[in-house]
Structure 1
Amino acid sequence: MIDKLSWMTIYPEVVLLIMTCVIALLDLASTSPRRTGTYILTLLTLAIVAVLTGFNASLGKTIYGFGGMVVSDPMGNWLKCFATLALMVTLVYGRPYAGDRGMLQGGELFTMSLLALLGMFVMMSGSNFLLIYLGLELLTLSSYALVALRRDNAVASEAAMKYFVLGAMASGFLLYGLSMMYGATGSLDINEVFKAIASRQVNHQVLVFGLVFIVAGLAFKVGAAPFHMWVPDVYQGAPTAITLMIGAAPELAAFAIIIRLLVEGLLPLAIDWQQMLALLAIASLLVGNLAAIAQTNLKRMLAYSTIAQMGFMLLGLVAGVVNGNTYNAQFAYSAAMFYIITYVLTTLASFGIILLLAREGFESEEITDLAGLNQRSPLYAGVMAIAMFSLAGIPPLVGFYAKLAVLQALIASGQGIYIGLAVFAVVMSLIGAFYYIRVVKVMYFDAPVTASTVSAPRDVRTVLTVNGALILILGILPGGLMTLCANAIVATLAT
């Protein structure tokens, strides 16, 4: 008999699953070419789920259910809430684009995106190796299907195949690493694994061997170099609406399982995995920033930008444990959480503009397609400029504060090597500023390629404006979100 407490840990997931099934069934009777009814019901479902997860998070309680396999804590619930909101915004931005390209002939876009979100929820709630892996597979399988949604498009089909093959390999890495941990500790429960490793009764070499495979699998999921091979091809080849879907909310889920596995489960091995993450961060910052400079395709440039941004986020996870001491963990991990949330917010705005400029039969994917956007639409040029400046880390935008928080965590460790990493990150950010500012230069100083004005549905225009305003407001007043992240991390570390 499953107790009431267990059901309380998963009721947002139950609501999401039931509504996904209802939407899939109701869509069968839909005759609207734009799937208006399905779209509205999907947004209502996401709004309800966001409220439920936000309410759970605000309670500040940590509850374990189903024999410790599932955990409902502030960090997981806030990430669920933000992931749900990110998917809502993605669907608002992506629906006109998808409708113009025949991607709404069935309701797959909405049902598969809801199933992907359910996978993210399971990942964020998992306190057991198997449950986390099941959530990951639900997310990735849904993502493969979404990338291939334009069946008649050869480029999208090729991107889906690359994503599938490389994703299967990465899942194999992660599963093999988790099986090594199970073999060494005798448990799949994250808390039990932590206790077994902390007892120092387990063969350290076996643990490190498994850890290498786990870190490799996680690096693939966040797109960190040298496991970044899929990111540029999938970002460029997938329909832009799907690119945003796999480039925004899933990053929050990837961050969640990094915290669950490495911090909650394998913290006694921090000296080992922090070194691995530091190497991944250095490689990501180098590869991402240097490769992005050479790109002329905007989606491909943003893909390499993502690799660099993930490198910066990983730096926040590197400085948590110093000389066996966890005094810096709260600041380091909360800085990384703040970074990933604000990165997703900025990504939504930048891809929202690309989706807005894309017309039927025309993909606005080249940087030159933004030429003279300020003359055609000052509002949308302003939102894109805010997004680019934020990604570059220019004050007073939220990207600046996010980078500053990570750098402060590195410097607060007092270790020469971490201070050196902070200096390296600043240098790489200066290099990265070039390709972001180039986009702004094209929008404001190049002659427009077309005289037509940019029009958008009212919901898209409203959400884009709010999106751009939030990037500015959270940069000026970051305290509330930073406190939220700090409290969530403290609650997680306490358990």
Structure 2
Amino acid sequence: MIDNISWLAIYPEIVLLVMACVITLVDLGVKSPGRTLTYVLSLLTLGVVAVITGIYAANGNTFYAFGNMVVSDAMGNWLKCAAAIAMAVTLVYGRGYSRDRGMLNGGEYFILSLLALLGMNVMISGNNFLIIYLGLELLTLSSYALVCLRRDNNAAVEAGMKYFVLGALASGFLLYGLSMIYGATGSLDIGEVFKAVNSGLIRHQVLVFGLVFVVAGLAFKLGVVPFHMWVPDVYQGAPTAITMIVGGAPKLAAFAIVIRLLVDGLLPLAFDWQQMLGVLAILSLLIGNLAAIAQTNIKRMLAYSTISQMGFVLLGLMSGVVNGNVEAATAGNAYSASMFYVVSYVLTTLATFGVILLLAREGFESEEIADFAGLNQRSPLYAGVMAVCLFSMAGIPPLVGFYSKLAVLQALVASGSGLYIALAVFAVIMSLIGAFYYLRVVKVMYFDKPITAAKVHAPLDVRAVLVVNGALVLILGIMPGGLMKLCSDAVLRALAS
């Protein structure tokens, strides 16, 4: 019999599922080109989900439901809250662009976005291999459909096909790795897997074999080298409104399943997966930054930028255990730095793509860096927001991107390991190289002649959200303590449970 605690744990998912079904039916009667009713209902749904998960997270309680298959803890609920807000912001930014390109002829854009968020929530809540995999598949299948939503565009369809083929391959890797670990431990429950691995009675070679495939699957979802092949093509080929969905909130869910699988379930194998994450981080920082320099398409440049940014996240994740010693303070510091980095990255990415969407007009995508020439003369406000975001991603103080990088570097140095300190130095050098391609866009916006004199216009809701979004990038950089404490407390509670 299912108790009340079990239902309480999945209230946000119930709201999302029920409302996705209701909105699907309501949308059948909506005739307006902008799907106004569908849009409003979707935003209300996301607002309710954000409030519920925010209340859960603020309470700080951890409880398990449905026979330990689902966990509701502070870390998961804060990530769900952030994902719901990020998806709402994405819909606000992307509605006008999608309407102009015929992507709102049906309500699929909003409904698939809600289902993608439902998949993220299931991933974040999963305390069982099957639940995590079900959430992952719901997210990826929704994402495939969204990328192909502009069916009359060859680039979008091609991007969707590449995403589907490579995504299926990565899902196979992850599933095969999980099945190997299940075969070795005899359980799908993450807590039981931890106990079995920690017992030391299972052959190490079998576990590491499964671990390699699990890390490969997770690396694909994070979009890190050498599993990054899909990222530039999907970012460039997908409609910009969809690129923002793929590149934003799902990174929060990907971070959550890395913590659930590697830290909660396979921590005794930390020595093995830390080496793998270290190699992935080095390659991502190197190739991501160097490849971004050569790009002229801003979406493709941001794709390679994402790869390098995820390299920093991996550096934080790999520095939680030092020489096989698990200390709550060290681990909490490292994993909370990674969580802070992911949240700040998503916040910055949303504002960046919001400006790109504003510059796009019907029949003109504004995807080349040259399209931003003289933006400051046309619209000082949007040029300012874009500059703030680019400076933040480059790690320039006092913006949130600087503090997030600093937090990860501090976690590496605090470990006291010579190797980790060398990695911190390498990461700083790569950041300096990466600053070039961010500053190049700022130079184009402020010092090049504009290609058109047309002013940039935006609806009031988009303008208001974009200003708040850009302001948060600055405010959280100047006063990062609140968000950092929130991440730290949430991670420590998750580790303690």
TM-score, with structure 2 as normaliser: 0.99
Deviation (angstroms), 1:33: 1.2
User: How do 1:376-415 and structure 2 match up within 5 A?
Assistant: 376-415=378-417
Deviations 1:18-55 (A, max 9, x none): 01100000001111111000000100110011000000
User: How do 1:417-428 and structure 2 match up within 5 A?
Assistant: 417-428=419-430
Does residue 181 of structure 2 align to residue 206 of structure 1? no
Deviation (angstroms), 1:448: 0.3
Distance 2:477 2:11 in 1: 34
**Alignment partner, residue 148 of structure 1:** 148
SS at match of 2:64: strand
Distance 1:223 1:447 in 2: 35
Distance 1:14 1:156 in 2: 32
**Alignment partner, residue 68 of structure 2:** 68
User: How do 1:43-192 and structure 2 match up within 5 A?
Assistant: 43-192=43-192
Deviation (angstroms), 1:250: 0.3
Distance 1:480 1:326 in 2: 26
Letter in 2 for 1:470: L
**Alignment partner, residue 37 of structure 2:** 37
Deviation (angstroms), 1:324: 1.9
Distance 2:413 2:183 in 1: 38
Letter in 2 for 1:239: P
User: How do 1:335-354 and structure 2 match up within 5 A?
Assistant: 335-354=337-356
SS at match of 2:287: helix
Distance 1:165 1:227 in 2: 13
Letter in 2 for 1:69: M
SS at match of 2:308: helix
Letter in 2 for 1:460: V
Instruction: Structure 2: give runs of 5+ residues left out of the alignment.
Output: none
Distance 1:152 1:441 in 2: 35
SS at match of 2:71: strand
Letter in 2 for 1:394: I
Q: Which ranges of 4 or more aligned residues in structure 1 deviate by more than 3 Å?
A: none
Letter in 2 for 1:170: A
Distance 1:287 1:371 in 2: 27
Does residue 216 of structure 2 align to residue 216 of structure 1? yes
User: How do 1:323-472 and structure 2 match up within 5 A?
Assistant: 323-327=323-327, 328-472=330-474
**Alignment partner, residue 304 of structure 1:** 304
**Alignment partner, residue 10 of structure 1:** 10
Distance 1:427 1:376 in 2: 35
SS at match of 1:71: strand
Distance 2:208 2:435 in 1: 37
Distance 1:278 1:254 in 2: 17
Distance 2:383 2:260 in 1: 39
- Percent identity for Structure 1 against Structure 2: 76
Distance 2:433 2:318 in 1: 22
User: How do 1:261-276 and structure 2 match up within 5 A?
Assistant: 261-276=261-276
Distance 1:456 1:33 in 2: 17
Letter in 1 for 2:260: R
Deviation (angstroms), 1:242: 0.1
Deviations 1:262-321 (A, max 9, x none): 000000000000000000000000110000000000000000000000001100011101
Instruction: Structure 1: give runs of 5+ residues left out of the alignment.
Output: none
| Number of aligned residue pairs | 495
Letter in 2 for 1:339: Y
Distance 1:91 1:445 in 2: 32
SS at match of 1:227: coil
Distance 2:344 2:191 in 1: 29
Letter in 2 for 1:190: I
SS at match of 1:64: strand
**Alignment partner, residue 284 of structure 1:** 284
Letter in 2 for 1:320: G
Distance 1:205 1:293 in 2: 41
Distance 2:88 2:419 in 1: 41
Distance 2:23 2:223 in 1: 32
Distance 1:481 1:160 in 2: 35
Distance 2:351 2:150 in 1: 24
Letter in 1 for 2:295: Q
Distance 1:317 1:408 in 2: 13
Letter in 2 for 1:403: K
Deviation (angstroms), 1:325: 1.4
Does residue 5 of structure 2 align to residue 27 of structure 1? no
Letter in 2 for 1:468: G
Letter in 1 for 2:62: T
Deviation (angstroms), 1:326: 1.8
